[in-house]
Amino acid sequence: MSMLNDVACVLASQEELKQICKDLGEQITKDYEGKNLLVVSVLKGAVVFMADLLREIKCDCRIDFMAVSSYSGTKTTGVVKIKKDLDVDVAGCDILIVEDILDSGLTLSYLKKILEDRNAASIKICTLLDKPENRKADIKADYIGKVIPDEFVIGYGLDYDEKYRNLPFVGVLAEHVYADK
């Protein structure tokens, strides 16, 4: 069975995603010219977006990765566990956190707090997708690719049960996939 059978509809096509990366990259290049940019990506969902966005950023930058997981049963409190920390010392860096999707915002607000304690020069957030309807934490992204309705999406790095990350577009997960579970 093809992955495509599990896509209810396309929310952001390959062409649109390409344009989003171009536009965001242009803004970020302007804003970070002459600064000490460190692009931080949150594994694993953001890697596809990060890879495309990076090639649209034309000023000097470094990259690093973090992996986090929600403590089981406490997702609503936004307490996350760091599974892989940054390699770089962020003191004095202008951090740009790159995320796949900002949903409740609990993960990112916790992550931002952790990084705020490390003496970075600045911290901003760039998210490919924003689902503002479901926000629980008081957090906003500084750069947003696309605002989407409160639906479960897959592709372009985003997964359902670790599947569909390799779809080249963002689509809504078909109901039959999780109805069977």
> Residue 105 interacts with ligand IMP (CB under 6 A)?
yes
> Residue 106 interacts with ligand IMP (CB under 6 A)?
yes
CB of 150 to ligand IMP, least distance (A): 9
CB of 45 to Mg ion, least distance (A): 3
CB of 131 to ligand IMP, least distance (A): 6
Q: Is 103 a catalytic residue?
A: yes
Helical H segments across the chain, by residue range: 14-32, 47-54, 106-116, 175-179
CA separation for the pair 72, 140 (Å, rounded): 25
Backbone CA torsion sign across 11, 96, 137, 74 = positive
CA separation for the pair 15, 109 (Å, rounded): 31
Token pair for 139: 């957090």
CA separation for the pair 85, 88 (Å, rounded): 9
Residue 167: HSE in the Cβ half-sphere, 13 Å Cα cutoff: 25
Which one among 63, 132, 152, 174 touches ligand IMP, defined by CB under 6 A?
152
* Residue 70 or 122 with smaller CB distance to Mg ion: 70
80 binds, among ligand IMP, Mg ion, none (CB under 5 to 8 A by kind): none
Catalytic-labelled residue, pool 6, 52, 103, 130: 103
Residues lying near ligand IMP in the complex (CB under 6 A): 45, 99-108, 152-153, 158
Active site amino acids: 103
